[in-house]
Amino acid sequence: MAATSDGHRRFYVTTPIYYVNDKPHIGHTYTTTAADAVARYHRMRGDEVLFVTGTDEHAQKVVRAAQAAGLDPQAFADRVMTSFLDAWDRMHISYDRFIRTTEAEHKQVVAEVFRRLLESGDIYKDHYAGWYCVPCETYFAEDALNEGSLCPDCGREVEQLTEEAYFFKASAYGNELMREIEANPERIQPDSRRNEVLSFIRQGLQDTCVTRANQGWGVPVPGDQEHVIYVWFDALINYLSAAGWSLDEEQFARTWPPSLQLMGKDILTRFHGSLWLAMLMALGIELPQMLFAHGWWVTAGGEKISKSRGNVIDPWAEVELLVEESGCTTDVAVDAVRYYMFREVTFGLDGAFSSDGLLARFNADLANDLGNLLNRTLPLVERFLDGTIDQPGPGAGELPEQIARAVARTETSFQTLDMRGMLEGIWELLAAANKFVDERAPWDLFKQGKKVELLAVLYDVVDAIRVTALMIAPVMPVVAEEIWRQIGLEAMAVPMSWDDCQPGKLPAGAQVRRGRPIFPRIDLERVRQRAAAKLQQEKTEEEEAQKMISYDDFMKVDLRIAKVLDADPVEGADKLLKLVVDAGEEEPRQVVAGLAQEFSPRELIGETVVLVANLEPATIRGVQSQGMILAAGGEKPLALIVPDRDVEPGERVR
């Protein structure tokens, strides 16, 4: 962390900037919430924090999506970027700066970087021939492709492109970069990821193509309007723009270097760990203090959760599930999802997200351990001490020591980003506090008239609750504030400062105010029963569907051969695609099909399929559907039904 001449400690933390046309999902939320927790922790310590996130808007896929929506790319980006603002607002993300790569100032910075690197000879003009994956916006070497010229990342077909282009001389920086990373292991974390980056660089950094033909979207190359700057090169520069590089030298000097740059492991090796660092070296700018790459959220089957795979988890749906099942407030549910993400999986490793797991942790950790401590302690203070602990107790046992241990663990965990270890440490304190209440039995002390001991015991427990509220505040800010309110510190205007994370600092005279339970317990049995009932209903429906029908009934179904002319995702529906098909009629028809999770639009275009042509038209998610496409598979479409030789559209199937 940079300490400046005025003695302030500064903390500059970044997330990647997200593709503007993505819908925020659990992966984006994970990176952003981690950055948020770290930023909140440093603010509590009194550090001057700059927490930057934003949107990456110059991807070619934005142009395509804008065309499909009938908008120009900028208008489209303006419209869709709000889904990130909205998501971060709802998920309690306290960013200081939301940067968009379409901002005039950022574009100016990108052009300036380019200009300087051209001048220094680090960027030069040449020809490029390569395999390009449009959805991933990435070139791949031929030997990196999967069989059948498929993208090694998303599995879709790549295109061969040859063009005049500008190259960044990354090759000149490989050795220096390797030395730098080896000498400063904390620059890339965790260790296993650093080793991946090092072995990537050891193979020899290739010069990187950093421009594309100008098709009207992107930052133009200064002095050469034929080209625009490659979206990744443009996007990485956001970290410089947000810090004021070449815009406000004073701000830049105060802010740079980033203390922590967070990202998922997929964008570490090729982009942040090599390209980005080499760019900084070429510019003569100090490297970030730490790049930290976390793992992926995967499905139960181990598949990465992503929009292109159509298996996204919407954090908001999980929040709604918690509200519905427990009756907690939406804000508490948001905090619970934040908690789950960091408690369930070691930060840095992959993990499977499961709604069942979320509900179980809500009950066990939040309703039981934390909620229970609060709900049993505050009534005791109300009953035995008139709601007030009016003088600091002497410390009646082992809790002060436990508090100090949890605080120390939390502080180290924030340095190493061991978010799970941090929460485990706090939960050990909660377990100790619950045990302490059981063992010291304040109700007996009261009966026996042992007033001094009673006060001391309750003081220590409320003090443990106070420090717990401080320690969980970075991850669960709203819950922490509610606890603060219930133990009477909000009313006393006691600030939530990290300096007070020590035992014995509960101020005298706090008036506790028991509130509604923060974490109403979920009836997991009821949840299970409902899931079983749903399964049963689906089974019955399937059986129903398998009943015999007459020949005449079958002949009523008008099955036709149709050719798919176009295919697009249906906005807001992960499973649906909107197809335009030629069924040999005067006009093509539009059909909504539940194929999106198994088939990409590109795979379907040109495919000959079987259409149920006389199905009543329906409006699905606001989109007109005239018919149905046949596919094998029950729950999930596994294969399309296609003719085994050429048949003209409109031909009857029977």
Residues engaged in binding ligand MSP (CB under 6 A): 16-19, 22, 27-28, 30-31, 56, 235-236, 238, 263-264, 266-267, 296-297, 304-306
Residues 6+ apart with CB under 8 A from 206: 170, 171
Residue 53 burial (CB < 10 Å; 0-12/13-18/19+)? Answer: buried
Read off the amino acid at residue 107.
Answer: K
Q: How far is the CB of 243 from ligand MSP (least distance, A)?
A: 14
Which whole-number Å values give the CA distances from 366 to 211, 326, 612, in the listed order? 50, 12, 51
| DSSP string for 140-189 | E-GGGSBTTTB-TTT-PBPEEEEEEEEEE-GGGGHHHHHHHHHH-GGGEE
Q: How far is the CB of 399 from ligand MSP (least distance, A)?
A: 37
Count the neighbouring beta carbons within 10 Å of the beta carbon of residue 55. 24
Token pair for 286: 């100090």
Q: How far is the CB of 271 from ligand MSP (least distance, A)?
A: 7
User: Nearer Cβ to ligand MSP, position 277 or 385?
Assistant: 277
Q: Which of 557, 559, 400, 420 is nearest to 464 (CA)?
A: 400
Q: In this chain, which residue has its C-beta nearest to ligand MSP? A: 264
**Which of helix, strand or coil describes residue 543?**
helix
Residue 532: phi, psi to the nearest 5? -65, -40
User: Which residues is 579 bridged to in the sheet?
Assistant: 567, 591
Residue 633: phi, psi to the nearest 5? 115, 145
426 and 408 in contact (C-beta within 8 Å)? no
Integer Cα distance of 83 and 89 in angstroms: 10
Integer Cα distance of 350 and 269 in angstroms: 16
Instruction: Sort strands 2-3 and 9-19 into parallel, antiparallel or unpaired.
Output: antiparallel
Q: Which of 500, 242, 464 is nearest to 369 (CA)?
A: 464
Q: How far is the CB of 64 from ligand MSP (least distance, A)?
A: 16
Which whole-number Å values give the CA distances from 630 to 83, 547, 603, 614, in the listed order? 34, 19, 16, 13
User: Nearer Cβ to ligand MSP, position 211 or 410?
Assistant: 211
Q: How far is the CB of 425 from ligand MSP (least distance, A)?
A: 24
Cα dihedral 148, 150, 156, 158 sign? negative
> Which element (helix H / strand E) includes 603?
helix 601-604
Cα atoms found within 13 Å of the Cα of residue 71, Cβ hemisphere only: 12
Q: How far is the CB of 264 from ligand MSP (least distance, A)?
A: 2
User: Nearer Cβ to ligand MSP, position 82 or 391?
Assistant: 82
Straight-line distance from the first to the last Cα atom of the chain, in angstroms, rounded to the nearest whole number: 72
Q: How far is the CB of 55 from ligand MSP (least distance, A)?
A: 8
Instruction: Sort strands 224-229 and 260-264 into parallel, antiparallel or unpaired.
Output: unpaired
Q: How far is the CB of 227 from ligand MSP (least distance, A)?
A: 20
614 and 527 in contact (C-beta within 8 Å)? no
